[in-house]
């Protein structure tokens, strides 16, 4: 049995930063993730994707951010169970929990923090004729290695941050980049949208708005897409790759049976400390929901900080949280 103060379910960026905040308060952390490595979606889905909204970094690659977080938390010696999925939660008489994974690893902890990392995210697939037949043959739902797209013709579909950021990034790599969006405005950051419009005006990308991809075709590999505009105009475009970027659908798995308040596959929390309706269980990052929620990494960092301040009372019930700042062997602590 593994004994710790806080068990964090999810070793993505928010879960990793929670280790740092907990470490400042001398709370030990053990992390469980169904993926075989830390980093969550950043490492598994888009390690080379540039991220532009991390304070202090004009841009940082996703995997680089994960590596930096691992270096930041190293002084606090977190432990990990990777490649295993949480299956069971059992509350003890003293309020603590036993958590059991599908490989029968047991963790005893005072506090549970759900930070995503459930290994159950599926891409949202648009309704396009022939799409699944070309999966892995020119159609993919993520970009792990952008170098594979160098000097290729690439079509991106979507209107969120991921579609915008990849359009800007691939403009310097691919032979031809086309972004197709069903509307004439974007859901992503205005600054990113402005960059896309600038690239289009300069002729460096093709921007097709108020249109949908309705069909894909090819001979063993993707060769052509069919585009239908809102005015019913139908055109075709030759391409080597199609990457629909419509987000991911989370699946809570066994956690859905823990008595938590769920709203559309997200866990409802109190924004005072990001506690759930079940005492000693918190939810931070993309897995939670509340009025005004923004699914940004930096928001998850904020949630992790407040959560740790609240969790302290369960780990050290007889102590009052002190904010006197000191340094021990070069490690900041309270």
- For 163-195, write each residue's pLDDT tens digit: 999 999 999 999 999 999 999 999 888 988 999
Provide the pLDDT for residue 105.
96
Is residue 269 a known part of a binding site?
A: no
Provide the pLDDT for residue 325.
55
Residue 97 and residue 4 in contact, taking contact as beta carbons nearer than 8 Å:
no
Provide the pLDDT for residue 118.
43
Provide the pLDDT for residue 112.
98
Is residue 105 a known part of a binding site?
A: no
Provide the pLDDT for residue 319.
87
Is residue 52 a known part of a binding site?
A: no
Residue 17 and residue 301 in contact, taking contact as beta carbons nearer than 8 Å:
yes
Provide CATH code, domain 125-246. 3.50.50.60
Helix locations, 10-92, DSSP H:
13-24, 40-44, 62-73
Buried b (16+ CB within 10 A) or exposed e, 87-104: eebeeeeeebbebbbeee
CA angle 37, 131, 44 (to 5 degrees): 10
Q: With a cut of 50, which residues of the chain have pLDDT below it?
A: 117-119
Element (H, E) at 166: helix 161-170
| The domains spanning 2-122+249-329 and 125-246 adopt the same CATH topology | yes
Domain boundaries, the chain: 2-122+249-329, 125-246
Measure the CA–CA gap between 177 and 241, rounded to whole angstroms. 10
Is residue 121 a known part of a binding site?
A: yes
Provide the pLDDT for residue 121.
65
CATH of 2-122+249-329 given 3.40.50.720, 2.60.40.420, 3.40.120.10, 3.50.50.60: 3.50.50.60
Is residue 86 a known part of a binding site?
A: yes
Provide the pLDDT for residue 234.
96
The model scores a pTM over 0.85: no
């Amino acid at each position: 049995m593994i004994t710790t103060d806080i068990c964090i379910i999810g070793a993505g960026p928010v879960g990793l930063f929670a280790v740092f905040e907990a470490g400042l308060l001398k709370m030990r952390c053990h992390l469980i993730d169904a993926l075989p490595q830390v980093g969550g979606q950043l490492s598994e889905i888009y390690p080379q994707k540039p991220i532009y909204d991390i304070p202090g970094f004009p841009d940082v690659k996703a995997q680089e951010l994960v590596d930096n977080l691992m270096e930041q938390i190293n002084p606090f010696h977190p432990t990990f169970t990777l490649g295993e999925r949480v299956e069971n939660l059992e509350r003890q008489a003293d309020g603590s929990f036993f958590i059991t994974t599908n490989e029968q690893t047991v963790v005893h902890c005072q506090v549970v923090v759900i930070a995503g990392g459930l290994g159950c995210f599926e891409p949202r697939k648009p309704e396009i004729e022939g799409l699944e037949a070309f999966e892995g043959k020119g159609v993919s739902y993520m970009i792990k290695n952008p170098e594979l797209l160098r000097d290729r013709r690439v079509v991106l579909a979507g209107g969120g941050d991921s579609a915008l950021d990849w359009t800007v990034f691939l403009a310097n790599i691919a032979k031809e980049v086309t972004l197709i969006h069903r509307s004439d405005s974007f859901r992503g950051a205005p600054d990113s949208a402005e960059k896309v419009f600038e690239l289009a005006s300069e002729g460096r990308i093709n921007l097709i708005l108020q249109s949908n991809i309705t069909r894909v075709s090819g001979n063993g590999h993707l060769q052509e897409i069919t585009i239908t505009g809102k005015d019913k105009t139908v055109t075709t475009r030759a391409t080597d790759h199609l990457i629909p970027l419509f987000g991911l659908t989370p699946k809570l798995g066994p956690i859905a049976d823990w008595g938590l308040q769920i709203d559309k596959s997200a866990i409802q929390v109190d924004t005072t400390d990001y506690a759930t309706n079940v005492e000693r269980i918190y939810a931070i990052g993309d897995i939670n929901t509340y009025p005004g929620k923004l699914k940004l990494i930096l928001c998850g960092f904020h949630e992790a900080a407040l959560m740790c301040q609240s969790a302290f009372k369960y780990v050290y019930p007889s102590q009052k949280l002190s904010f006197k700042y000191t340094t021990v062997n070069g490690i900041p602590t309270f």
